[in-house]
């Protein structure tokens, strides 16, 4: 089918949640490349929004998925599942968590984290501790509780009355945080680097103070690592760079390398609040998704992808900073590892993204910030080529 034919079907049958899409469809991928139906090769510097960490069609991941599909795709959580137990072990052995629960997406992982925080206090008899503080401009998902958690009206306005109990405070404003804490505060949920709103990191000193207050007042600190986790920021989990250990953190996106999976990961004292039937999932942690997750970890270890993210990300950031010195339209370059954002002084990031698309590069954009989220396998040469193309775009725009 041509893209035009797919578009016609989409317009007739699909709900309009994604509006007018970019007019391309991809038929194959390999590494950082995506091949379109019309034979064009695109460099994927978006990675399905921070999903395809090991690149497209990685042989280890593809083989794990195929082999798992040939043996057993799915069984109920009534039974023991080897891949699930092993993937939970992998995450625990590489993080501050003691236990893991698998769901199917980032929003679902965050729902699980919110439920875990609430039940933790409930089981201690603190039924009045149910408020959760999140940050303005955060993004935590599209389900009813996670749109309420998301500190952006544009996502929640049509869905009132919202799940109650969420309070929003501006990022890096300690006084605002302190003022929002009450005896009812149950948890704080933060992205270490806000992704969807344009790559905004929390300050190290701020999050450390928040952490200390949480410890003092028995408030659970939840790190939403759906986007920042799995090596994206140059460490396996972003919290490692901020001098804190969250009580609960969530994963999704890159964990399955493209196969849907989400995870709630928690320290024992919090995790133990979930007892039989307090939470559950039909698909969560099934053999296919967990085999994919194990393959992702295998590739990370064999190919040193976390280290690569840090090295190539740091290299690309330096190059982008050099670009910022030459082009005054660039306001700021932010981010860590291969989660980078270039903020422009005007709302031109969407235009830049389209110009890059015309030059066969896929990126993301908010109004002012170009979002760069390539697979973690990219080389310095890939980064050089991308920055050169971005410079060409800036030159052509004469800015």
Q: Which is nearer to ligand PLP, 139 or 361 (CB)?
A: 139
CB of 162 to ligand PLP, least distance (A): 17
CB of 254 to ligand PLP, least distance (A): 11
Beta carbons within 10 angstroms of residue 372's beta carbon: 28
Contact footprint for ligand PLP (CB under 6 A): 49, 105-107, 110, 139-141, 191, 195-196, 224, 226-227, 252
Q: Which is nearer to ligand PLP, 83 or 138 (CB)?
A: 138
CB of 363 to ligand PLP, least distance (A): 15
Q: Which is nearer to ligand PLP, 49 or 347 (CB)?
A: 49
CB of 326 to ligand PLP, least distance (A): 31
> CA-to-CA distance for 225 and 230, rounded, in angstroms?
8
CB of 109 to ligand PLP, least distance (A): 7
Q: Are 27 and 2 in contact (CB under 8 A)?
A: no
Q: Which is nearer to ligand PLP, 131 or 224 (CB)?
A: 224
End-to-end CA distance of the chain: 39
Beta carbons within 10 angstroms of residue 38's beta carbon: 10
Q: Which is nearer to ligand PLP, 336 or 355 (CB)?
A: 336
Please state the φ and ψ torsions of residue 221, each to the nearest 5 degrees.
-100, 115
Q: Which is nearer to ligand PLP, 191 or 336 (CB)?
A: 191
By beta carbon distance, the residue nearest ligand PLP is 106
From the number of C-beta atoms within 10 Å of its C-beta (0-12, 13-18, 19+), residue 184 rates as middle
CB of 138 to ligand PLP, least distance (A): 8
Task: Give the contacts of 43 (CB within 8 A, at least 6 positions apart).
Answer: 32, 33, 360, 361, 362, 374, 382, 385, 386
Task: Give the contacts of 187 (CB within 8 A, at least 6 positions apart).
Answer: 114, 117, 118, 132, 133, 219, 220, 221, 222, 248
């Amino acid at each position: 089918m041509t893209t035009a034919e797919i578009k016609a079907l989409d317009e007739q049958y699909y709900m309009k949640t994604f509006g007018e899409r970019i007019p391309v469809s991809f038929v194959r991928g390999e590494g950082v490349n995506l091949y379109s139906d019309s034979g064009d090769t695109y460099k994927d510097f978006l990675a399905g929004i921070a999903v395809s960490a090991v690149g497209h069609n990685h042989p280890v991941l593809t083989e794990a998925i195929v082999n798992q599909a040939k043996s057993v795709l799915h069984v109920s959580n009534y039974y023991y599942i080897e891949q699930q137990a092993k993937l939970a072990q992998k995450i625990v052995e590489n993080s501050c968590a003691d236990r893991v629960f698998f769901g199917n997406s980032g929003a679902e992982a965050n729902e699980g984290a919110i439920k875990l925080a609430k039940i933790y206090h409930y089981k201690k008899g603190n039924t009045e501790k149910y408020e959760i503080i999140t940050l303005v401009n955060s993004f935590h998902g599209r389900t009813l509780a996670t749109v309420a958690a998301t500190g952006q009206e544009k996502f929640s306005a049509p869905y009132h009355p919202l799940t109650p109990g969420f309070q929003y405070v501006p990022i890096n404003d300690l006084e605002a945080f302190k003022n929002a804490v009450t005896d009812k505060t149950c948890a704080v949920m933060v992205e270490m680097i806000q992704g969807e709103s344009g790559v905004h990191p929390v300050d190290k000193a701020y999050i450390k103070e928040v952490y200390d207050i949480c410890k003092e007042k028995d408030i659970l600190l939840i790190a939403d690592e759906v986007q920042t986790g799995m090596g994206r920021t140059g460490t396996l989990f972003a919290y490692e760079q901020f001098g804190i250990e969250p009580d609960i953190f969530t994963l999704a996106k890159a964990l399955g390398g493209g196969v849907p999976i989400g995870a709630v990961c928690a320290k024992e004292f919090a995790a133990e609040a979930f007892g039989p039937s307090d939470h559950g999932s039909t698909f969560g942690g099934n053999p296919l998704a967990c085999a994919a997750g194990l393959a992702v970890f295998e590739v990370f270890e064999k190919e040193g992808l976390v280290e690569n993210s840090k090295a190539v990300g740091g290299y690309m950031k330096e190059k982008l900073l050099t670009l910022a010195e030459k082009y005054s339209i660039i306001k700021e370059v932010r981010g860590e590892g291969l989660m980078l954002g270039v903020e422009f002084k005007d709302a031109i990031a969407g235009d830049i993204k389209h110009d890059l698309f015309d030059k066969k590069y896929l990126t993301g954009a908010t109004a002012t910030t170009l979002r760069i989220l390539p697979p973690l396998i990219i080389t310095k040469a890939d980064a050089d080529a991308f920055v050169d193309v971005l410079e060409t775009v800036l030159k052509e725009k004469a800015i």
